[in-house]
Structures are given as C-alpha cells and as structure tokens.
Structure 1
Amino acid sequence: MPNPAKAPVMLEPVPHWNKLCKEDEVLLFRAGEKIGAGRVDMRAMDGSVFWLIQSGGMGRHMVHANDGLTVYRRPGRSG
C-alpha cells in the first residue's frame, strides 16, 4: 500500500502573481531550475512584485515580474 506521507506534492503554477496570498508557500524557477523557495510575505496589488521570506533562514527577498521567474505554489494554503 502506498504511503501518503511520501506521495509527491503537486505544485500549482501561478502565472498571475496577483493571485498569490500572504503565507502561500512557493517555489521559484528560472529556465527550469529551482532557484528559491519560501512563503509570500506581501505583494503589490497589481501582482508585479512580491516579497518572499526565503526558506532556510535566507532572509526576505523582493521578486519582480521582470526577473524571468516561474512561480509554483504548494496547493491548499492559498487564502
């Protein structure tokens, strides 16, 4: 019987960052390579910018739409 604790987590792509919510857990990718992870702290109303509290104690980082990133959200945490 499969172990649900070891099941892969399906990530939701977030093409429109104005759909991100505070506390959403996200992964950041550039050219298919994971470059960051954390949780959304706040975002601009137009979705052009959001602040990420980076995982692993790496601090807070501003992410801009022109950074060329693809954002994926872990499901079930969106407000």
Structure 2
Amino acid sequence: MYRHKPARRRQALPQAPLPDWSRLSRNDQVEVQMHHGTVMSGTIDMIAANRSVFWLIRNDGAGRTMVCYGDAVSVTKVATAQREHAAA
C-alpha cells in the first residue's frame, strides 16, 4: 500500500548581504540597504554585464531605481520562500 509522505519544507537560511554582485541576475528579488539606513526592495529589471550597476523595479510603487556598486549600498538576495510568503 502506498503511504503518502509530505514534502519537507526547507528552512530559510539567514540572508546576508552579497560581497559582490556576480551571482545577481535579471528577475532576482533583492533588498538594497542604502548607507543612511533606507531599505528598498524589488526585482532586478536590467543588470550590466560586469555586474557593477542594475535597475531595480521597486515593490513600493516608486518606479525604477538605478543602483551602483560604488554607492556604498548592501544588497541581499531574497530567498524564494520569503517571496512566496510576502505574496500571500
């Protein structure tokens, strides 16, 4: 007889700021913390081939914002589970 085993849920790992942006790509969900403490979240719309700059479509409805590596910001990639929870 078949016995149903529910899928295990992955525990979300604590997210840390990325030291470099080499693993970022278009459509990634990220949080950007500015040097003065403001946090923006959204989806990467366009990203330069050298990963030095990207355009963020902001979740707060404020349009697109250009984020540059040299602007003293920290970028954290948001995990898939957090995105699904935020959408619910």
Output the TM-score relative to the length of structure 2. Answer: 0.66
In 1: Cα distance, 2:12 partner to 2:68 partner: 29
Kept after mapping to 2: 8 A contact 1:14/1:20: no
Q: What is the deviation of 1:10? A: 3.2
2:64 corresponds to 1:64: no
Unaligned runs of 5+ in 2: 1-8, 82-88
Alignment equivalent of 1:30, drawn from 31, 34, 39: 34
Query: Could you report, residue by residue, the CA deviation over 1:49-73 in whole angstroms, capped at 9, with x for unpaired residues?
Result: 0110011211011100111000001
Alpha-carbon distance, 1:75 to partner? 2.0
> The residue matched to 1:33 in structure 2 has which SS?
coil
Match of 2:46 in 1: 42
Count of residues paired in the alignment: 72
The higher radius of gyration belongs to 2
Q: Answer 1 or 2: which has greater strand percent.
A: 1
1:14 Cα deviation (Å)?
1.9
Q: Indicate the SS of the match to 2:51.
A: coil
Gaps of 5+ in 1: none
Q: Percent identity?
A: 32
- The alignment yields a C-alpha RMSD, in angstroms, of 2.6
